[in-house]
Structure 1
Amino acid sequence: MEHITEYVLKPSSPCNCLNIRRASRATTQFYDKMLEPSGLKITQLSLLRHVKRLEPIGISELAKAMRIDRTTLNRNLKPLVDVGLITINPGKDPRVKEVMLSEGGKVAIEKALVFWEEAQVAMKEYLGEEDLTVLVKLLAKLEALEQ
């Protein structure tokens, strides 16, 4: 497991939005690095876990559950379909396409979860339990801005 032992604080921007975006990008890069041995990115693991929990699920419903737009979801689904981790099939309603995990997708999740759990522990160690709890509450509050 990678432990974060030192860090250099970077100058903040007067723009809160930019600071949040920078932190989001750094966090994503950290998780992607930790997940690298699994072959998945954090966005892909998140998508696969949503599908596992909700399958079979229509693309529009999945986009809503993940709180992303349908175009972004379709763009993120394509590489996972291409490597055989998910399948997209016609639903009961011919206008709806349903997303499901393949067996390979289930295996990929299990493999990646080991590295994700290590990343979670490293992040908790880095921030400390109290700061992490505050951060999660603040992030939920910021997400509530979305209409």
Structure 2
Amino acid sequence: MSKSGDLPFSTTIEVRDRCLCLRVQRAARRLARRFDEALRPFGLTHGQFSILMALNRPAPPTIGQLADFLAMDRTTLTANLKPLHRRELVTLAVDKADKRSRLPSLTDEARALLAEAAPIWRATHDDLDAGLTDPAELRERLAEIA
């Protein structure tokens, strides 16, 4: 058995250079900060923007469907919906098929806000894409993991 202090520094370097999770997390944090800054004038974080965009559909999803789409657990999603609900950007209707369940949907105010924010999101993405060698390839590779 090795002692806890016996882990060689070379292992740290290996993790730094090889760990996909670390690289994706670092990239996600940097992207999040970039999009948070771009969406700040609308009073939205990138996470809130993503939730609202995921609700921009003809029929409201269940919380479970939305959580699956966003790769979030239901509890985290519910907590993230609360400020959007308080801000009157999201309504929560009772699901007629299951009275215990709620169906989140966008308000007219949220739809107007998304219409204003989408061009800024698009411009931020255009700037980001311009700095990447092959953004479509990156999206495809990330989709393989997601």
**Same fold by TM-score greater than 0.5:** yes
Alignment of 1:61-76 (within 5 A): 61-76=65-80
Aligned partner of 1:31: which letter?
F
Does the 8 A contact of 1:40 with 1:112 survive in 2? no
Aligned length: 131
Paired with 1:98 and 1:43, the residues of 2 have a C-alpha distance of: 19
1:122/1:97 CA distance change after superposition, 3 Å: same
| Structure-2 residue corresponding to 1:49 | 53
Task: Report the equivalent of 2:93.
Answer: 89
Structure 1 CA distance for aligned equivalents of residues 69 and 139 of structure 2: 19
Post-superposition Cα deviations, 1:72-96, rounded to whole Å, max 9, x if no partner, equal: 1101101100111001121213122
From 110, 119, 128, the equivalent of 2:124 is 119
Counterpart in 1 of 2:10? none
Equivalent residue, structure 2, for 1:29 = 33
Gaps in structure 2 of 5+ consecutive residues: 1-12
- 1:54: how far off? 5.1
Choose 113-122 or 45-54, whichever is displaced more.
45-54
Identical amino acids, percent of aligned pairs: 32
State how far apart, in whole Å, the 2-side matches of 1:17 and 1:94 are: 39
User: Normalised by the size of structure 1, how large is the TM-score?
Assistant: 0.81
The one-letter code of the counterpart of 1:127 is L
Q: Which runs of 4+ in 1 moved over 3 A?
A: none
In the superposition, the TM-score normalised over structure 2's length comes to: 0.81
State the secondary structure of the residue aligned to 1:57.
coil
Q: Judge conservation of contact 1:84–1:102 (CA < 8 Å) in 2.
A: yes
In the other structure, the counterpart of 2:23 is: 19
- Indicate whether 1:141 and 2:144 are aligned: yes
Work out whether 1:107 is the aligned partner of 2:106.
no
- The Cα RMSD (Å) is 1.8
Structure 1, gaps ≥5 residues long: 1-10
Do the aligned partners of 1:58 and 1:96 also contact (CA within 8 Å) in 2? yes
